[in-house]
A and B are shown apart, each in its own frame.
Chain A
Amino acid sequence: MSEAINFHYVVDGDDFTSAGEASVDIKRKLRQLGVDPAIIRRVSIAMYEGEVNMVIHAEGGTVDVNVYEDKIEMILSDEGPGIANVELAMKAGFSTAPDYVRSLGFGAGMGLPNMKSYTDGMEIDTKIGVGTTITMVVNLK
């Protein structure tokens, strides 16, 4: 019973067109599992922001979603440039995204704060030149 159900995704960093595919798929999977729609929305928005970040700020990466009995855990891992100042990056409106990203509809600096507000727990493990791993948890109970 306490076995987690795992979904694993590889996020392509070269192709903005596909950014968000994993989040759309997770939304469908969680619906199939019968998870509460309000929870699904929080999980999928948080993951979508993280997935788009991996494409625009890193060179893609992997996402693991673990569905436990009492929580859903998302682990987003990339080998991108890392985040120099996490506290600053977490500020609403802070963004290093270039203008072409804004012309694609992103880069308002709301992603990380949004991920934090939609989840019950978020941890950022990052090292310059090595990569970033973001772990988010949404409680089911």
Chain B
Amino acid sequence: MKIRDIKELLNAEVLCCDEELEKEVNSACGSDMMSDVLAYVKDQAVLLTGLLNPQVIRTAEMMDMVCIVFVRSKKPTKEMVELAKQLDIVVLATNLRMYEACGRLYSKGLGTLKENGEA
């Protein structure tokens, strides 16, 4: 699916990099623990999180992720959005909670990754 589809499925607001909305993504993960993202995530392109600090953006950058979705109406600071913009990471914000946000994307085919790295 495209990042634009994620935005629509989650009724999300685009906070930066809307020129990247046509980018294709094939997997996602949801976590508030950046430690777990760093340790267990392989090639997921999208991070859904309820955590709000600059390390969310930096963790996504370390993992070569292209889109971050803040759930539960969390609004990142201007500095965080600016950082994401510099790194070409699309930032979305949705009012949905983590469970429902992940569920909507998963049921529309945005999966995790299999052991062999295929989507």
What residues make up the interface of A, taking CB atoms closer than 8 Å to B?
16-21, 23-24, 27, 37, 41, 44-45, 48-49, 52, 102, 104-111, 113-114
Contacts and interface: CB of A to CB of B under 8 A. Distances in A.
B58 A24 contact: yes
B64 interface: yes
A48 B38 contact: yes
Contacts of B39: 108, 110, 113-114
B87 interface: yes
B68 to A, nearest CB: 13
Contacts of A44: 62
Q: Main secondary structure on chain A at its contact with chain B?
A: helix
Nearest to B52: A105
Interface centre among B38, B64, B87 (most CB of A within 10 A): B38
Contacts, number: 67
B99 to A, nearest CB: 19
Given A48-B38, A114-B38, A105 B51 contact: yes
27 contacts: A17-B53, A17-B54, A19-B55, A20-B58, A20-B62, A21-B58, A23-B62, A24-B62, A24-B87, A27-B61, A27-B62, A45-B38, A48-B38, A48-B58, A49-B38, A102-B33, A104-B53, A105-B33, A105-B34, A105-B35, A106-B34, A106-B55, A108-B39, A110-B36, A110-B38, A110-B39, A114-B39
B32 interface: yes
B74 to A, nearest CB: 13
Contacts of B87: 24
Contacts of B58: 19-21, 23-24, 48
A81 B36 CA distance: 25
B95 interface: no
B56 interface: yes
B92 to A, nearest CB: 18
Nearest to B80: A17
